[in-house]
Structure 1
Amino acid sequence: MISWRKHYKKTLIAIGLLLSTSASFYGQDGDPKNGEKLFKANCTACHALDKQVIGPPLKGVVERVKTEGGVDRDWLHKWIKDNKALRASGDKYANEIFEKYNKTEMLQFPNLTEKDIDDILAFTTNPPAPEEKKTEATPAPGADAAAPADKSTTNIVIISLLAIAGLLVWILVKLRQLVKLGQSEELTGLNESRVRSFKEMYEKFHYVGKGIIAVLAILAAYGVWNWLMWIGVYKGYKPEQPIYFSHKIHAGEQKIDCQLCHSSAKYGKVSEIPSMNVCMNCHRTISEYNADHYMEPGKDKAFYDGEIQKIYAATGWDPAKQQYTGKTQPVEWTRIHNMPDFVYFNHSQHVIAGEQAIINSFNKKNPNNKIDVVCKACHGKIDTMNVVQMANDFTMGWCIECHRTTEVDMNNGYNKEYFKNLHDKLKKQYPQDGGKITVDAIGGLECGKCHY
């Protein structure tokens, strides 16, 4: 009996060790919720749970490496911390993976602790179920919420019918009065004094007629002149583009700098339309829309995912194979801001030389609508626009007004020295203004500056 009890205890201990080792191996000794945060912070640039991105899908990776390479969790710890050193040591399975994925070297993560890696492995083994989104209950069509609207509509119809009935009664009364008038002697006198032809009416009222014609002619001339002056002014113009691109999501929600995409706006004459390869810098690894906290009204996740697929079609990117096919499609963007050919405008001159001066001038004129980026002075608050539109008139008068009110930045060492004599002259000429130098004082109104 004693011998049997000893064997029984040994068996229980062995089973306990086996279960604990198994649980540890499958990553269950970690915290999946914390692992999800670590995974998103460190892994999502190259990996997804259920599909290949740059690297393989990581769902069930613990079981997969055991089946494919016969390695355990300790091997995964070494691989994640420093896969380069693991390959250099001659590890067969590590080098097989390196060759399998086109010798794309995985980043090293020496900063992750053993517990961090355990949490990540727990997440890949058993991802937490997504939390259900709380949605506000909305009344069904035809419910009590619709009752007040129906009652209001009924009242409006009744009031309208009563008004029409009253009008008909009034018309009948007036017709009866006219009939009575036709039967009286007063009507005979009126018939003798009335105008019987257009000629008589013109001779009687020709001064009034000429005055009215003159006023109408002046109004018509002003209307034509005003219409001609606004040809080519498209403030508020926001065309539909072949690929939907929300600046509010990219520049607003994600805080992407304007010049990351429009790289020539600062140092070039023209702010170019970014090539699709610029989009692929991010969307090579972002193949679906997961920012559930912001969606434009009327659009859902399927819509945004479809627009990302258009980027892949344009660049010839195969997300399954993670490589370019060579079959590209041109994207015919609709241009929004376009200066006439007879107008010279240099972006770099305004973005670099005039940056602080333009921002200061704009904020001074708009204290309740200040800007932090010079681009917004002309293009409006792009980071709040889902669909980009022309925010200003972009007329000659609009530019001249800006040149007349924008002060030159005299804190700039170059300007302070270069315009020293001009500054002294203006101080004497306009003492009440303190000799302020605005852009028009340094040639901002010269025709040849913009028209050449």
Structure 2
Amino acid sequence: MISWRKHYKQTLIAIGLLLSTSASIYGQDGDPKNGEKLFKANCTACHALDKQVIGPPLKGVVDRVKTEGGVGKDWLHKWIKDNKALRASGDKYANEIFEKYNKTEMLVFPNLTDKDIDDILAYTTNPPAPEEKKTPEATPSTEATTASASDKTTTNIVIISLLAIAGLLVWILIKLRQLVKLGQSEDLAGLNETRVKSFSEIYQKYHFVGKGIIAILALLATYGIWNWIMWIGVYKGYKPEQPIYFSHKIHAGENKIDCQLCHSSAKYGKVSEIPSMNVCMNCHRTISEYNGKYMEPGKDKAFYDGEIQKIYAATGWDPQKAQYTGKTQPVEWTRIHNMPDFVYFNHSQHVVAGEQAIINSFNKKNPNNKIDVVCKACHGKIDTMNVVQMANDFTMGWCIECHRTTEVDMNNGYNKEYFKNLHDKLKKQYPKDGGKITVDAIGGLECGKCHY
């Protein structure tokens, strides 16, 4: 009986040691795959594995802190959870790191469990091999297919045109041969006697027809000149190349960045400014290479990475030292949308007061091409453009047509109060569409609104 109890106790001790060892090993090794998810969610704003961003590279950080400071994983747990408290405790290595990286405050992560931190450290020690990405060239794009079909059609048209010209030349040669034979015959003398010998005789004979043709030509010439004059300064479809390539499809489309994050003054000012390069650096200070799935046909990762380097050159940012050098290179952007000096246009008035009214009006007129952001009503579906282009005419007639068809939201808090005593009068004065009030009814066609 005593022997059995002795063996029973030894067995329990052995099982306990085995379980504790297993737990210790698991906690030490961690799960690199889960660590990768946690790393991307918590660390990538300031760190990368293989290069310095705001903070140091974290690949092999466990071995590095052991070599540099003689500390281990327990120290890293304390540093990650609350590095401020660790520095305040007088930890020498913690304060050395703080001084080394320009006293940049690191976030604290009290929400991470010990297992989460072990998983992250396992990822930095032995990151999983990246999955192979499918190259966009593997599947021919719609644009490439369309371009191929267009080239084929153009080739067919050229061939048919050349054949038609060749047939015409053969016909002319045959007729010339007939004329030569006719000139060598006796019948030519009889024809010469009946032939009209001067243009004046032709005009006298057919002067009514001639005057009619001249009048038609004069009208066509007048219309052509007028049409040409009316389209001076209209550049719909204009899309110039910029000194730094910027794809709105990648930023506004793929990454869903709000227009007003970059064009902040559109909501509060008359002009929607070209964003400062410092706005770009809010994100690209930590994004030094392109790792997105979308690739424009004909462009690759190296192209996009090169454009990011242009941003660094323009702002004087040194990605290796993670600091500004002070040597900047101003970027000469090519302006696309530019109102004439004699035209007043206020972005904030349209983006704030008229936002929902403009969206509703546009979607009503374009049920198959609806928009969700007011900017798209004038600038087109900018989130699908790799190169920004002028999407509309931006003529006076185009603006007036919009004012005549866009219904004012009289339930808007501002309009409801401002036009409080005018509602009934306006509904009687503008009874169209059941008393709906459009922008022209509240002064949208007054010359002084836009010209001053």
TM bucket normalised to smaller:
0.7 to 0.9
In 1: Cα distance, 2:106 partner to 2:61 partner: 15
Alpha-carbon contact 1:81-1:110 (below 8 Å) kept: yes
The alpha-carbon distance between structure 1 residues 387 and 148, as it changes in their structure 2 partners (threshold 3 A), is: closer
Alignment partner of 1:267: what SS? coil
Q: C-alpha displacement at 1:380, in angstroms?
A: 1.0
Aligned counterparts of 2:202 and 2:416: Cα–Cα separation in 1: 75
TM-score, normalised via structure 1 length: 0.85
CA 1:321/1:337 → structure 2, altered by over 3 Å: closer, same or farther? Answer: same
Go from structure 1 to structure 2 and tell me whether the alpha carbon gap of 1:305 and 1:151 turns closer, same or farther (over 3 Å shift).
closer
Give 5+ residue unaligned stretches, structure 2: none
Closer, same or farther in 2 for the Cα pair 1:368/1:190, shift >3 Å?
same
Q: Deviations over 1:366-395 (max 9, x none)?
A: 111111111111111111111111111111
- Distance in 2 (CA, whole Å) between partners of 1:6 and 1:305 is 69
3-state DSSP class of the match of 2:435?
coil
Contact 1:139 1:145 in 2 (8 A): no
Q: Which piece of structure 1 moves more, 170-179 or 92-101?
A: 170-179
Taking structure 2 as the reference length, the TM-score comes to 0.85
User: Which range moved further: 315-324 or 105-114?
Assistant: 105-114
RMSD: 5.3
Which stretch has the larger CA shift, 115-124 or 169-178?
169-178
CA contact 2:141–2:297 (8 Å) conserved in 1? no
Q: How does 1:154-303 map to 2 (within 5 A)?
A: 186-290=187-291, 294-303=294-303
CA contact (8 A) 2:426 2:441 kept: no
Q: State the SS of the aligned residue for 1:154.
A: helix
Bigger drift between 171-180 and 359-368 goes to 171-180
What is the CA deviation profile of residues 279-314 of structure 1, one whole-angstrom value per residue up to 9, with x for unaligned ones? 111111111111xxx111111111111111111111
Counterpart Cα distance in 2 of 1:419 and 1:210: 60
Distance in 1 separating the partners of 2:128 and 2:134: 18
Secondary structure, aligned partner of 1:217? helix
Q: 1:403 to 1:101 in 2, by over 3 A?
A: same
The answer as to whether partners of 2:239 and 2:389 remain within 8 angstroms in 1 is yes
**Cα displacement (A) at 1:196:** 1.9
Specify whether residues 442 and 142 from structure 1 end up closer, same or farther in structure 2 by C-alpha distance, changes over 3 A only: closer
- After TM superposition, the structure 1 stretch with the greater mean CA deviation from structure 2, 420-429 or 256-265, is 420-429
C-alpha separation between the residues in 2 aligned to 1:154 and 1:342?
Answer: 47
Q: Distance in 2 between matches of 1:150 and 1:449?
A: 48
How far off its partner does 1:185 sit?
6.0
Aligned to 1:143: 144
- In the alignment, which residue of structure 2 is the partner of 1:440? 440
Please state whether the residue corresponding to 1:94 is helix, strand or coil. helix
Deviation sequence 1:409-443 (CA, Å, 0-9, x none): 11113322432443212333454532221111111
Question: Which stretch shows the higher mean deviation, 21-30 or 399-408?
Answer: 21-30
3-state SS of 2:238 partner: coil
Distance 1:428 1:142, change over 3 A: closer
Moved more, 279-288 or 92-101: 92-101
Relative to 1, partners in 2 of residues 1:253 and 1:401: Cα closer, same or farther, differing over 3 Å?
A: same
Q: Is the 8 A contact 2:235 2:390 kept in 1?
A: yes
Following superposition, the deviation at residue 141 of structure 1 comes to 21
The correspondence of residues 14-25 of structure 1 with structure 2, limited to 5 A, is none
Report the CA distance between 1:128 and its aligned residue: 1.5
CA offsets 1:316-366 (integer angstroms, 9 cap, x no match): 111111111111111111111111111111111111111111111111111
Indicate the SS of the match to 2:27: coil
Contact 2:27 2:115 in 1 (8 A): no
Partner of 1:31 in structure 2?
31
User: CA 1:89 to 1:21, structure 2 compared with 1: closer, same or farther past 3 Å?
Assistant: farther
Distance in 2 (CA, whole Å) between partners of 1:99 and 1:242 is: 38
Shift of residue 243, structure 1, vs aligned partner:
1.0
Rounded Cα–Cα distance in structure 2 between residues aligned with 1:263 and 1:231: 31
CA contact (8 A) 1:27 1:125 kept: no
- What is the alpha-carbon distance in structure 1 between the residues aligned to residue 296 and residue 42 of structure 2? 29
Separation in 2, partners of 1:354, 1:50: 49
Q: Residues 233 and 85 from structure 1, CA distance in 2 versus in 1: closer, same or farther, beyond 3 angstroms?
A: same
TM-fit CA distance, 1:75: 1.5
CA distance in 2, matches of 1:13, 1:342: 91
Question: Displacement, 1:175?
Answer: 6.1
Structure 1: state its 5+ residue gaps: none
- CA drift at 1:151: 14
Tell me how far apart the structure 2 counterparts of residues 265 and 253 of structure 1 sit (CA, whole Å): 22
How has the CA–CA distance of structure 1 residues 415 and 110 changed in structure 2, closer, same or farther, with 3 Å as cutoff? Answer: same
Greater displacement, 370-379 / 128-137: 128-137
> 2-side partners of 1:325 and 1:347: how far apart?
36
Partner of 1:379: 379
**Quick check: 2:87–2:94 contact (8 Å CA) kept in 1?**
yes
Give the CA deviation at 1:124: 0.9
Q: Taking structure 1 as reference, are residues 12 and 203 closer, same or farther at Cα in structure 2, changes over 3 Å only?
A: farther
CA separation of 1:300/1:446 partners in 2, compared to 1, >3 Å: closer, same or farther?
A: same
Distance 1:287 1:395 in 2: 41
Q: Closer, same or farther in 2 for the Cα pair 1:7/1:73, shift >3 Å?
A: farther
Q: 1:11 to 1:124 in 2, by over 3 A?
A: farther
